[in-house]
């Protein structure tokens, strides 16, 4: 992506000249003929560098620089001036400018100063990102620093989210990637940390119960409503409510949730009085909500209301650099919990952990280490303790593993439930498609699915049409 340079100068000829010069050097230019225009552009985009003339028609460059440094302290500003060089240097340093160039502009110096300012700015932003990530992770029992650039970006985004008070957050990711941990981290890092953090799984309750749990109910609202009950939204006032598996929320409940997000009010089931609430909503799902919207399973307006900030958590297999740090973290965690004394993970065990596909993501890794630390003894965690040989999945067929799970007591090492279920679904989808000779409608009927749901699974498992 090409760096963006905001050029602030009231001389049209200079703007045109710099636009052409920077374009040839590989930069994008946003021109601003006045201080007011420059500040308006900064509200819309965050450029990588500002080239600022001190002599502007509506306000002084000094004023513009002061506002930029107050609002965007990491944004580098290079001063352009017709003053004598010594005066410019002193002024630039006093105003915390990254550097300066004199008019008439010398191209070699301009490009040299630009490259230097951009490089230094990139380093400062990276350090700031690391500091923010370290800050929000400090003292957390559930999250460990990540070596993954993607996770570091997510932690940086969380640090920015927590400066606000009400922004809705949508967390996307496969089952087991830690969506609940991230939701809790956002809450604890925000100004709402002293308020309640309440969570509910939208897939675990019927429509009636889910509505009652979220919004509460009045006495007599339905058969079992013998007393008035406050819902999670009311109990979570001044705090955070985490809606896990939001993709499974019934449409009727989605309508009521949308009202909460738009107007911050709701009514208890059977109630007639509006209740005002101050609560941050964090939602999470492992489903493709955009696809659900197309299928009519999820409201489009609610989808866009929820994704004010969207975090996409990558699966563990896509960030192998985090596998061993997470494993070591879990060893320490369960050492303390179970009174064990494992000091390290054997190199062969590390190889086995790195070779495994981790269909159950972090949850699978955590469960495996917990089981190993609980059941085994010694200062070193061995390969036999972790039982995740890279060829284990291919050595035993799906049917054999299902038979092993259902036909006799579960093995001491446990089973990979999510992996087996996922493989079974994929195998059935592929078989139905083959038996139907490539006819999607017929294949969908074989599995008692509608055609859209069947096509979604075809894309999910990368089955070519």
Please report, in tens digits, the pLDDT of each residue of the chain (465 residues total).
Answer: 688 999 999 888 889 889 898 988 889 999 999 999 999 998 888 888 999 888 888 888 888 888 888 778 778 888 887 755 455 446 656 667 788 888 888 888 889 999 988 888 777 766 655 554 544 444 454 555 577 888 888 888 887 787 766 679 999 998 888 898 899 888 888 888 888 999 999 988 888 889 989 999 888 877 777 788 888 999 999 899 999 999 989 999 999 999 999 999 999 988 888 999 999 999 999 888 998 999 899 999 999 999 989 999 999 888 888 899 889 888 988 888 888 999 999 999 999 899 888 888 888 898 899 889 988 888 999 988 887 644 344 434 566 556 656 655 665 556 667 777 877 888 888 888 878 878 888 888 888 888 878 888 888 877 876
Q: Are residues 23 and 124 in the same domain?
A: yes
Contact between 327 and 345 under an 8 Å Cβ cutoff? The reply is: yes
Domain CATH for 83: 3.40.50.2300
Is position 138 within any domain? no
Contact between 226 and 265 under an 8 Å Cβ cutoff? The reply is: no
Residue 450 structural domain: 397-465
Predicted pLDDT of residue 300: 95
Helix, strand or coil for residue 263? helix
Query: In whole angstroms, what is the distance from residue 275 CA to residue 296 CA?
Result: 29
> 3-state secondary structure string, 333-355?
HHHHHHCCCCCEECHHHHHHHHH
Q: Are residues 205 and 300 in the same domain?
A: yes
Is position 109 within any domain? yes
Domain CATH for 419: 1.10.10.60
DSSP state of 413: T
Please give the angle made by the CA atoms of 34, 39 and 41, to the nearest 5 degrees.
Answer: 95
Predicted pLDDT of residue 397: 54
Is position 465 within any domain? yes
* Domain finish residue from 256, 284, 312: 312
Query: In whole angstroms, what is the distance from residue 116 CA to residue 195 CA?
Result: 45
Q: Are residues 32 and 77 in the same domain?
A: yes
Which pTM was predicted? 0.58
Q: Which residue blocks in 95-206 are alpha helix, DSSP H?
A: 107-137, 149-161, 179-188
Strand ranges, E, within 202-316:
216-217, 229-230, 240-244, 265-266, 275-276, 280-285, 309-312
Q: Are residues 164 and 296 in the same domain?
A: yes
Q: Hey, what are 302's tokens?
A: 């609610």
Contact between 15 and 31 under an 8 Å Cβ cutoff? The reply is: yes
Strand ranges, E, within 272-353:
275-276, 280-285, 309-312, 344-345
Q: Are residues 159 and 304 in the same domain?
A: yes
Q: Are residues 101 and 32 in the same domain?
A: yes
Is position 363 within any domain? yes
Is position 120 within any domain? yes
Q: Are residues 172 and 66 in the same domain?
A: no
Q: Are residues 179 and 260 in the same domain?
A: yes
Is position 141 within any domain? no
| Number of domains the chain is built from | 4
Is position 139 within any domain? no
Contact between 180 and 199 under an 8 Å Cβ cutoff? The reply is: yes
Q: Are residues 340 and 231 in the same domain?
A: no
What 121-129 contacts at long range (C-beta under 8 Å, 24+ apart), as own/partner pairs, is 121/48, 121/49, 121/74, 121/75, 121/76, 124/74, 125/74, 128/74, 129/153, 129/156
Predicted pLDDT of residue 413: 56
Q: Are residues 345 and 447 in the same domain?
A: no
Q: Are residues 406 and 381 in the same domain?
A: no
Is position 442 within any domain? yes
Q: Are residues 153 and 69 in the same domain?
A: no
Q: At 55, phi and psi to the nearest 5?
A: -105, 100
Domain CATH for 287: 3.40.50.300
* Domain finish residue from 369, 395, 421: 395
């Amino acid at each position: 992506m090409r760096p963006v340079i905001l050029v602030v100068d009231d001389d049209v000829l200079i703007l045109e000249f710099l636009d052409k010069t920077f374009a040839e050097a590989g930069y994008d230019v946003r021109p601003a003929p006045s201080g007011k225009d420059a500040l308006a552009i900064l509200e819309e985009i965050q450029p990588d560098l500002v080239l600022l003339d001190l002599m502007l028609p509506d306000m002084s460059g000094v004023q513009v620089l002061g506002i930029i440094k107050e609002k965007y302290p990491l944004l580098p500003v290079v001063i352009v001036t017709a003053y004598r060089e010594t005066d410019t240097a002193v002024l630039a340093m006093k105003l915390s400018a990254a550097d300066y160039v004199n008019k008439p502009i010398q191209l070699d110096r301009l490009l040299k100063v630009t490259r230097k300012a951009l490089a230094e700015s990139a380093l400062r932003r990276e350090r700031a990102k690391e500091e923010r990530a370290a800050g929000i992770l400090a003292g957390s029992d559930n999250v460990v620093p990540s070596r993954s650039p993607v996770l570091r970006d997510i932690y940086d985004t969380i640090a920015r989210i927590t400066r606000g008070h009400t922004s809705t957050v949508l967390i996307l990711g496969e089952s087991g990637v830690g969506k609940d941990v991230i939701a809790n981290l956002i809450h604890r890092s925000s100004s709402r940390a002293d308020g309640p953090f309440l969570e509910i799984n939208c897939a675990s309750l019927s429509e009636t119960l889910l509505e009652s749990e979220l919004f509460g109910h009045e006495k007599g609202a339905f058969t079992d409503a013998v007393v008035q009950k406050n819902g999670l939204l009311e109990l979570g006032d001044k705090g955070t409510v985490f809606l896990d598996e939001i993709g499974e929320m019934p449409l009727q409940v989605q309508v009521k949730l949308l009202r909460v997000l738009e107007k911050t009010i709701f009514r208890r089931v059977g109630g007639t009085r509006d209740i005002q609430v101050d609560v941050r909503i964090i939602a999470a799902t492992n489903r493709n909500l955009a696809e659900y919207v197309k299928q009519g399973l999820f409201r489009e307006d609610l989808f866009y209301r929820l994704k004010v900030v969207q975090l996409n958590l990558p699966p563990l297999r896509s960030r192998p650099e985090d596998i061993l740090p997470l494993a070591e973290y879990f060893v320490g965690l369960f050492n303390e919990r179970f009174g064990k004394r494992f000091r390290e993970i054997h190199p062969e065990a590390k190889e086995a952990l790195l070779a495994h596909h981790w269909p159950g993501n972090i949850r699978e890794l955590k469960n495996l280490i917990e089981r190993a630390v609980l059941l085994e003894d010694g200062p070193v965690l061995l390969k036999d303790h972790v039982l995740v040989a890279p060829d284990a999945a291919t050595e035993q067929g799906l049917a054999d593993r299902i038979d092993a799970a259902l036909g006799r007591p579960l093995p001491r090492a446990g089973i990979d439930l999510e992996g087996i279920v996922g493989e079974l679904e994929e195998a059935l989808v592929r078989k139905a498609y083959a038996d139907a000779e490539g006819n999607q409608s017929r294949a969908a009927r074989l599995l008692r699915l509608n055609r859209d749901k069947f096509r979604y699974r075809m894309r999910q498992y990368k089955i070519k049409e």
